[in-house]
Structure 1
Amino acid sequence: MVETLGKYELLHVLGKGAMGTVYEGFDPIIHRRLAIKTVKLPDADDAEAQEELARFKREAQAAGRLSHPNIVGVFDYGETPEIAYIVMEFVDGTTLKHVLDKKERFETGEVVRIMDGLLAGLQFSHDRGVIHRDIKPANIMLTKAGEVKIADFGIARIESSSMTQAGTMLGTPSYMSPEQFMGQTVDARTDIYSSGVMLYQLLTGEKPFEGGLTAIMHKVLNTEPPPPSALSVTVPHAFDAVVMKAMAKRPQDRFGSASEFAQALKASYANRDSVGLSMTAADFGDDGEATMVVSGGRPAPAAPATAKPAAATVPPTKEPPPSAMPTASKKPLPVAMLGGAGAALLAILGVGGYFLLGSSSSPPPVKPVTPVTQPIAATPAPAPMSAADRARMLTDTLASLPCTLLGATDHGGQPSLFGIAGAGAPQAGLASAMGSLPASLMPVSTVQPLDGPYCDALNAIRPYHDFFAKPGMELGLSMVGGATTLHNNDLITLQNAMPNFAGYLQTDYFTADGTVFHLYPTPTDPLKLQPAGTVRVLGDPSKGGASWQVSAPFGTDLIISIVTSAPLFSKIRPQDENASDYLPALRTALQNAASTGQNLSVAAIQLVTEK
């Protein structure tokens, strides 16, 4: 008797994973072979499983609106009282990752053809407002006929949806863009970056950035990989500029669209100075290509309609003339044969095939050897670290982590760590960095996660923040009464405790929609020299000056205060402006203050607002 799910017949299991099962299915009405992915419906109080189900539905919504030869099709979504399921196109082939893991390499023309299929699918997707966000070889299918298909839209972002917010880090570290690591809202250009990483790997046999999460994040944000032609003399030099542009740190420096990327790649191929690729490469091994989803405590608030940044626009795909296409033939590819977790991964993507579970051959018997016992010399205990060495190691390891503003105390016992760190990847990077410290230096952490697009603001002031505060030289910033959460119509009242030097304050309020409000100075509360050691209260009507109340949109906001010996700006800033306009000016002003030897201190706190 054939098992059924709705109108579909379940023929056999293709693979099982932690979240569910994938079947080869059949539609008896239209006689179509299918792949059917299922997950169990979670309990209502299981928040993590509910998020997995939301991503499962998002995959159906994202891929279901896309019908293109280079995208694995989704035909149906359904639920029973026990499970949810997606009905997909059955892809008879394998993944690009599986081919690379077998150390198979492609000639240059074949690389261009694969990338052209990928970019054509992405252009179609982007034109319809769907951003994949997890482009990597494991999500690229190759059919037996050599066709390229993009799979797994499980963490895709639909531009009209609020299901995915800034402050959440999603993706696979080796292929993630800088803005993904920073937990910022992404657009189509993040797929351009990931595709550039994949092109780099196809050309060289190596990923541009390797290591653990913290190491990869640091490299992605701060370093440039060697150009592909530097790793293999058989890589055309013309490809270097294409790869580097696709992988530019700033989204605005990348190709404006997938089709622009594809056209540049084909033009470079036409002007190549060498043919083919080296057919040898380093062993890939287990590259840890699991998709990461690291979220903050709660999503950042959606921006109001009037303040929502415009989505990136990409021109419609233009079919290139036949003469511009590589002439490499479509080489048939073998069906994947994997075991264990690898089989489950391929099956999740709708791959057919058999599963190789082991080998029947037995090794020859080995003659036992009697061990010789040797006395073990006692290892002397390491000398205790000096206070200076402890401070140096803590500072070197933790003080410069991106998207953080941290402070520490250490009195010879267990250090204390406090401050704020961006939710998602920055927080994960902090945890990884702390884990690298020796046990005697593992700090007690009270660092608070910060949801929202505030990494640029934290990065702007962090170089001027003392990780170990100098006595009397630290600016104190807090809400009056110690509140960390305010509600609709509450007064926003904060206090700045001046350090032991007189200075000029600049206090700014950043919101999740990209606006910064300048709380001090203002036209009604002009800039004045604040005496050393005093407390300046802002927002209290009884003390004069401006006052502010909490209103929608609600969420997590960031307040920054800066004190300098001389005025930070030569003239007062507008009452409110875009953070993207203000932060470059702030960086320049801080650099000028530091270069002229001014006393300087910065502080930041987060404020949660609710209805």
Structure 2
Amino acid sequence: MPDQPVPESQMQLSAYQVERSEAQPATPESESAAAEDASGARLGQGAIPRSRAESVALPVVSAPIAEAPATALSAREARGQTVHATEADVATLSATPAPAAALTTAEPQVERLASATPTDQSEAVVLAALPAALSLTGSPAEPEPLTLAAPDATPLIDAPAAAQPLAQAQPNSVALTQTAPEVTRAKAALAFSGSGDGPVDPVSLAAFQSFMAPEDAGDTAAELRDGISGILAQIPCARMQVQFEPATNTLQLVGHVPDADMRAPVLQALQAQMGADIAVADTLLILPRPQCDALTGIAGVGLPQSTDQITNPLLVGEDTHAREFRYTDGQQLILDLTAPDYDAYVYVDYFDAKGQVIHLSPNDSAPLTLAKAKSALRVGAERPGDPGLYITIGPPYGQEIAVAFAASQPLYDDTRPLVEAAEPYLNWMQARVAEARAENQEFKGEWVYFFVSTAAQ
């Protein structure tokens, strides 16, 4: 076996951006506590120490002792902090008085010292959404030094002061939402896998490569396609085509054969070509004579068969019917078609089991018109009085075909008989196509056929 290409694995990852937002810091609204004067108590008074100067032989100079004014200490109210009064430094004046002269002293007038304490030191103030606790502090006034010896200090009496609670502010919270990204899960697998757990059939592997990579398969791909084409051409009055579906490793057979007994031999021959690991399925229809013989005369008119309806590179064989129409007894024959990709005149004919052709369009009820490119067309009348032929399905039932010819210029101007023999009509159409090609080198035309099945119900 020649070296086979190594299958490649692919992995696809998807990333999704998650929306994010940040909460903005905000300062809460609060009120400052108003300061009030604290009430204090008078300091106790004591006796002023006295001393007598020794006599000297100098003139007596009397130096009065100056009073040192006392200043009141004030403190601003603070929560959680106590302001203490500071004792003034004591300074002693000394003098050299004259003999027998007494120094006179004066009692200083003591001002009140006030202190303030918080209302409740144990009360906690909590501020929401702040990085640290907030406190109010007060700084006592700087006292002036006294020039007299201070009396014995008496403990200060704390006076409570009214305090106002601080307002609390709630921060605005921002909810963050996160959406889970959609993740598509896939299982890695080889491009071709067998039908079981055993080894891969080399015939199936070569057939798979002939469809998926014919340039690498070389002569093997050409031999496989030639073998399939020979099998499809062995059945007379049949039109078949195969389509490979790599997703399911299946070879799909479509088209029609003239007899149901011819279906099984075709499937067996195709299975031998594809090997054990590639399935062969079919949707074959039965088109008996003389309808199947009419396709030979239709293809001989001189127009190429339209391939707009089926455009798949994984095909082998002749193009088959573009669509199947199914009718039951009592329904009206209506065909919904699509014009080619250029402006064209469309001729629609119905070939029955008796070897006759019925001209559905044009006729006396439906004149010939120019159809715009890729426009929708309806052939037949749904109700009496509508444009087109009003045809009701009835016996005999079976399988028949309808054909649409398209041409860039009219093939004939006068209407044909509504019903006529199929073979003379096809020979006449062949001559009209040849004349149109000779007159106009840019002439374009094509044909396509549809499978029509009728039944009682």
Same-fold status (TM-score > 0.5): no
TM-score by length of 1: 0.32
Which one has the bigger helix percentage? Answer: 1
Normalising by structure 2, report the TM-score.
0.41
Structure with bigger strand share is 1
| Greater radius of gyration (CA) | 2
